[in-house]
Chain A
Amino acid sequence: MSTDLVAAGARLIDAATGEELAGAALTTAIDATAASLAELPTGAVFARTGISTAAVLRYLGCWAAHRPVALLDPALDPATLAEMVRRFAPAAVVGLDEGGAGAQAGDTPPGYERRDVGPLGPAWVRTGGEPAASPHPDLGVMLATSGSTGSPKLVRLSRTAITSNAAAIAQVLHIDGDEVAPTSLPLFYSYGMSVLNSHLVSGATVVVVDGGVLAREFWQAFDRYSATSLAGVPYNYEMLARIRWSPAKHPSLRTLTQAGGRLRNEMILAYHEKISALGGRFYVMWGQTEAGPRMSTLPADQLPQRVGSPGLALPGGTLSVRLDDGSETREPGVTGEIVYRGPNVMMGYADTAADLSRGDDQGGVLYTGDLGYLDDEGFLYLTGRLKRIGKVFGIRVNLDDIEKLVGQAGVDGVGPVAAVPAGDKVVLWCEGTVDADRRAEVAKLLAERMKLHRSGFDVRDIDRLPLLSNGKIDYRTLEARS
């Protein structure tokens, strides 16, 4: 095989055409895509990635050619895509025909020309100057950060992160060459990508079928190709429960996996019972795009007694709990921010083309921002998201709450605000020009509501609150100024 991501025996089945790619034919198809990348200028590739065999081959071609590739949502708003192209100056944007009627790439951006690049298909190819630095040789895949408004950041995943995570997932889910996974999730989404990777690396079969779990075509393909597993986020399982879907209707189905958020315990138990009765398994998992993405999995035989836990750290990874003082512990029952260490942790984020040349910024450590604890056997329990906390004279205050409080109070002449910790007090930055009387009024308001001395609140004004490229407030810069 041409790549370490695609083991011998791996198979792609295109449900729309019935075409099957395996063995030498798969290698040839990947190599052809990889070869056409040689026509492109240097640098990373942006791949608009829908659910299609062509999109999978573009991804695997980039992988085989050691060309870092960003897998992007084809429904990404054209203005956002254009803005990302400006910031990252990729060698090309491929997959212009991905995503169907509702997803348009937009106009060819300045400095690019639209042309067909062999098996890569229609692409915008960079005609202007090269970015100053080329992408780091370890860089494999980039995924956009989700959920934030404004300009997405890219998560930089090394080739090792991708392959090690795929192998670890395959190990804990017992994926072997007989497994058949349908593409129930988008491939630009880290969970969907990991289903693809973990099956290819195991020499298993992936049925490329678009439409999702509410589409007739999906279930037709599922049954026609005797799919053995289904991957879903909580929302998918809620929907399937709502329409009274039963795994018993699909005799080849043996494994259900769930990640992408917390599924209600009663729902976990219901699916566990249904699939267990058929001799199958239900796996609850936890991950983040920043970990490529999988960090923990609950062995199926630990249900129902450990319902609510997303399980144990993946093989090769460790979990610990960071306390307020910065120390870490694995002591059972102690709650703090969950820290994950493993070979699958990202190299870091990227905001610009220059960031793509950066090496590993993380050192294999990911502060997940999730709060939780471990039990006496190392099983993880999550309790919430880390809040931004400051201290006023030793009293912990929630900085987000402070911002909310000021916003809701609606003090005249005070617009957007940002609260940051500064030693033993909190600095509240107010956007625009806010005179001293108004600032005093805000400090007084906070002191009264928080029942703390007003000297603990330092209210200042600033022309513009600094923003990160994802549109969120740049608290780090504000902290440095406070």
Chain B
Amino acid sequence: MSTAIADRLRGVFVEALELPADVDVENLKYRDIEQWDSLGHMTLVAAIEDEFGVQLDTEQVIDMSSFKVALDMLQSMGVEG
């Protein structure tokens, strides 16, 4: 189940941040690459909300500093793959 979420989340990251093919999405951290700046972060948040039908609160948006954190967050919210 979690693998399915991870796959979908990876797709959201690649699309929302317009990532080049060679980017190691699983180990990505906020502001590590130019695509994931504050503007990218807002796009990403909106895309995650759309894809998983959730609404992220202020703390979650601010905490979402890596792919792994985002994945854990979605799983803890009970999102199913």
Contacts and interface: CB of A to CB of B under 8 A. Distances in A.
A100 B65 CA distance: 16
Contact of B63 (A100, A101, A216, A245): A216
A242 B42 contact: yes
A219 B31 CA distance: 16
A239 interface: yes
B24 interface: no
B2 interface: no
Interface in A198-245: 211-216, 219, 239, 242-245
Given A101-B32, A102-B33, A214 B58 contact: no
B34 A215 contact: no
What is the size category of the interface that chain A forms with chain B?
Answer: 10 to 19
A214 B62 contact: yes
Contacts of B63: 216
Contacts of A246: 58
Contacts of B62: 214-216, 219, 243
Contacts of A213: 38
Given A214-B38, A215-B65, A219-B62, A244 B31 contact: no
Interface string B55-76: 0111001110100000000000
Given A102-B32, A102-B34, A212-B38, A243 B61 contact: yes
B12 to A, nearest CB: 17
B51 to A, nearest CB: 17
Given A101-B32, A239-B42, A244 B65 contact: no
B34 to A, nearest CB: 5
Contacts of B38: 212-214, 239
Nearest to B42: A239
Nearest to A242: B42
Contacts of A101: 32
Contacts of B30: 214-215
A212 B40 CA distance: 13
B58 A245 contact: yes
Nearest to A211: B31
A100 B56 CA distance: 28
A100 B37 CA distance: 13
A249 B34 CA distance: 30
Contacts of B56: 243
Interface of B: 30-34, 38, 41-42, 45, 56-58, 61-63, 65
Closest 7 CB pairs of A and B: A243-B61, A243-B58, A214-B38, A245-B58, A216-B62, A214-B41, A102-B34
Given A102-B33, A214-B62, 18 more contacts: A75-B34, A100-B31, A101-B32, A102-B32, A102-B34, A214-B38, A214-B41, A214-B42, A215-B30, A216-B62, A216-B63, A239-B38, A239-B42, A242-B42, A243-B56, A243-B57, A243-B58, A245-B58
Interface of A: 75, 100-102, 211-216, 219, 239, 242-246, 249
9 contacts: A100-B31, A102-B31, A212-B38, A214-B30, A215-B31, A215-B65, A243-B61, A244-B58, A245-B58
